[in-house]
């Protein structure tokens, strides 16, 4: 597979489609130096981008949290996403809108910088190796922790917040794990490096309260699917000491979808029927075989 900067196709860039290789920004772009960038990750299934409007609205909200406005409406972003799919001849794809501050100003202050928006799409299979995911992936314990809400803009899907996730994933890869489980600044269980966490004990689902990390769109979808089946979902603080008492563990995200976890650090889990059922329900929902609530 070619590098991401060397591909055929088109990227929507500030209102128009440009050839993939020409979708470039200047080296002194503010976002590159000061992380003033936000993004989304969403999947298209059979030509339909799942929960696209929610993603486009979250992109706007993420930018506002970082103090800038995206000069395209959610409706215009939705249309642009589909324009990108069509231009690249894609029906099943990963779609990546990204908004950032430009190169008009260099320095910590972003004053005077202009907002930009680009949207790319490409074919991307399962985030984790399907053979490993079927048995349950192995998670390391991340060396970094999710920061407190008073120290970072934790409810923005901001590029800067992914630095510790990337470092933790790199650390896990080097140690032979598939991903890492992150705790928060208090020592509570938070999430994986790019996916939310769900635990099951005696038929009840427990998931950490998203007070210092994103309340993912897939996370919200899974909670709804579980409650449709009459499964109790409890959002609460979860401490590492509790992990040995849970029987099942899975993670969710637009990229990860529903991925089973076999172990996290010293704790082991089974891939049980509730996890599998919710995985099937999610697959049916995104592929149009199950109606939205």
Per-residue pLDDT reduced to its tens digit, 23-37: 999 999 999 999 999
Q: What is the pTM for the complete model shown?
A: 0.95
Q: Do domains 10-122 and 130-286 have the same CATH topology?
A: no
Q: How far apart are CA 67 and CA 69, in angstroms?
A: 7
Question: 130-286 domain in CATH 3.20.10.10?
Answer: yes
Known active-site residue 157: yes
Q: How far apart are CA 202 and CA 8, in angstroms?
A: 50
* Burial zone of 79 (CB within 10 Å; 0-12 exposed, 13-18 middle, 19+ buried): middle
pLDDT score of 165: 98
Could you tell me the residue ranges of all domains in the chain?
A: 10-122, 130-286
Catalytic residue, from 51, 111, 135, 157: name it: 157
pLDDT digits (tens, 9 = 90+) for 107-121: 999 999 999 999 999
Q: How far apart are CA 90 and CA 108, in angstroms?
A: 39
Q: How far apart are CA 190 and CA 238, in angstroms?
A: 8
pLDDT score of 140: 98
Q: What are phi and psi of 154, to 5 degrees?
A: -65, -15
pLDDT score of 293: 58
What are the residue ranges in the chain where pLDDT is below 50? none
Q: Which CATH number fits domain 10-122: 3.30.70.260, 3.30.470.10, 3.30.559.10, 3.40.109.10?
A: 3.30.470.10
């Amino acid at each position: 597979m070619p590098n991401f900067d060397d591909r055929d196709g088109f990227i929507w860039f500030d209102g128009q489609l440009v050839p993939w290789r020409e979708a470039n920004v200047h080296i002194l772009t503010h976002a590159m130096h000061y992380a003033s960038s936000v993004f989304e990750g969403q999947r298209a299934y059979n030509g339909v981008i799942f929960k696209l409007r929610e993603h486009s609205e979250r992109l706007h909200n993420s930018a506002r949290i970082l103090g800038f406005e995206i000069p395209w409406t959610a409706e215009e972003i939705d249309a642009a996403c589909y324009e990108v799919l069509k231009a690249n001849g894609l029906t099943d794809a990963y779609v990546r809108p990204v908004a950032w501050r430009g190169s008009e100003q260099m320095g910590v202050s972003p004053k005077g910088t202009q907002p930009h928006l680009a949207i790319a799409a490409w074919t991307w299979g399962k985030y984790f190796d399907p053979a490993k995911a079927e048995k349950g992936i192995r998670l390391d314990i991340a060396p970094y922790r999710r920061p407190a809400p008073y120290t970072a803009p934790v409810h923005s899907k901001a590029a800067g917040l992914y630095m510790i996730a990337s470092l933790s994933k790199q650390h896990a890869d080097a140690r032979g794990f598939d991903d890492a489980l992150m705790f928060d600044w208090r020592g509570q269980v938070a999430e994986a490096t790019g996916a939310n966490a769900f635990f099951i004990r005696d038929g009840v689902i427990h998931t950490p309260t998203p007070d210092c990390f994103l309340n993912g769109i897939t996370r919200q979808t899974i909670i709804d699917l579980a409650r449709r089946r009459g499964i109790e979902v409890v959002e609460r603080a979860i401490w590492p000491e509790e992990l040995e008492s849970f029987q099942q563990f899975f993670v969710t995200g637009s990229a990860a979808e529903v991925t089973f976890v076999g172990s996290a650090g010293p704790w082991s889990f089974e891939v049980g029927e509730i996890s599998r059922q919710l995985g099937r329900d999610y697959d049916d929902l995104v592929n149009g075989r199950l109606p939205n609530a």
